[in-house]
């Protein structure tokens, strides 16, 4: 999905060690994905196709959120306040600071950031499939399998929306996405380095 670096193998070890932390972080990520889609839809009421697509996405993310909450409940875990999302904040800043080109706009840039966040989650769900035992924890394994496919689909939905928002200039949008993916990769590498040996078990970043 256009990612420029793989997750640090240490992330998988950490996830294996503390799957509960992954589940808690995951719940927050689903809620953030939903509220981000809703806030974008609210800011662009003039484009009903965009509003429709983003509210469909938000509905799906809310459904994911509620299902993760179900896993938390069954495991007796608490949700707690959302942690500061250093990854998403850095990504937004980096994309905002990229050289402006003809397709750059607040909407296109936010859609591209959201697409990359979906791509990274997709990669991590794939990694989590190797962490969760299919026979011992079949429900969670099936859930991650479904989410892996959903995140890949969301990535494409968001890239398509960015293309539409840029008046169909897919070539320039692609070039901008590539540059944004370079930023994303360096953020992921930097976070992995600064968190090595720490307790960083997040779905993205
Ligand atoms: Fe989701
Ligand atoms: Fe998603």
DSSP string, 124-151: HHHHHHTTS-TTTTHHHHHHHHHHHHHH
Q: How far apart, in whole angstroms, are the C-alpha atoms of residue 173 and residue 178?
A: 9
pTM of the model: 0.95
183 Cα–ligand 2 center, Å: 20
pLDDT higher than threshold 50 for residue 197: no
Give the residue from 158, 79, 163, 83 showing the smallest Cα distance to 117: 158
Radius of gyration of the chain (CA): 17
Q: What is the pLDDT of residue 16?
A: 92
Report in angstroms the alpha-carbon separations of 116 from 40, 73, 88, 131, 161.
16, 30, 10, 23, 13
How many Å lie between the centroid of ligand 1 and the Cα of residue 102? 31
- For residue 150, how far is its CA from the centre of ligand 2 (angstroms)? 6
Neighbours of ion ligand 2 (CB under 5 A): 33, 118, 151, 154
Higher pLDDT pick, 191 / 183: 183
> How high is the pLDDT of residue 200?
55
Of 198 and 143, more confident: 143
- What does the pLDDT look like over 85-102, one tens digit per residue? 899 999 999 999 999 999
The yes-or-no verdict on residue 140 having pLDDT over 90 is: yes
Q: Is the pLDDT of residue 205 over 60?
A: no
Helices marked H in the chain: 9-17, 19-43, 48-74, 86-96, 106-129, 138-165, 170-195
**Least confident among 67-71, 121-125, 184-188, 192-196:** 192-196
pLDDT per residue over 34-52, tens digit each?
999 999 999 999 999 999 9
Ligand closest in space to the Cα of 60: 1
Average pLDDT score, the chain: 93
Question: From ligand 2's centre to the CA of 155, what distance in Å?
Answer: 8
**What pLDDT was estimated at residue 202?**
73
Measure the CA–CA gap between 163 and 20, rounded to whole angstroms. 37
Kindly tell me if the per-residue pLDDT of 198 is higher than 60: no
List the shell of residues around ion ligand 1, using CB closer than 5 Å: 30, 61, 64
Distance from Cα 204 to the centre of ligand 2, integer Å: 11
């Amino acid at each position: 999905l256009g990612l420029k670096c793989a997750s640090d193998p240490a992330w998988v070890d950490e996830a294996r060690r503390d799957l509960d932390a992954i589940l808690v972080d995951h719940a927050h990520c689903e809620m953030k994905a939903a509220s981000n889609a809703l806030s974008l839809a609210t800011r662009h009421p003039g484009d009903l196709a965009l509003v429709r697509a983003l509210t469909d996405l938000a509905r799906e993310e809310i459904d994911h959120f509620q299902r993760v909450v179900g896993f938390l409940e069954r495991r007796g875990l608490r949700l707690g306040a959302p942690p500061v999302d250093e990854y998403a904040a850095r990504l937004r800043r980096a994309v905002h600071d990229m050289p402006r080109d003809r397709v750059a706009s607040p909407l296109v840039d936010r859609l591209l950031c959201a697409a990359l966040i979906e791509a990274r989650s997709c990669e991590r769900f794939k990694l989590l499939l190797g962490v969760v035992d299919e026979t011992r924890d079949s429900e969670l394994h099936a859930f991650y399998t479904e989410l892996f496919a959903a995140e890949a689909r969301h990535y494409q939905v968001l890239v398509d929306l960015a293309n539409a928002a840029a008046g169909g200039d897919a070539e320039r949008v692609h070039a901008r996405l590539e540059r944004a993916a370079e930023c994303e990769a360096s953020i992921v590498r930097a976070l992995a380095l600064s968190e090595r040996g720490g307790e960083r078990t997040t779905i993205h970043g």
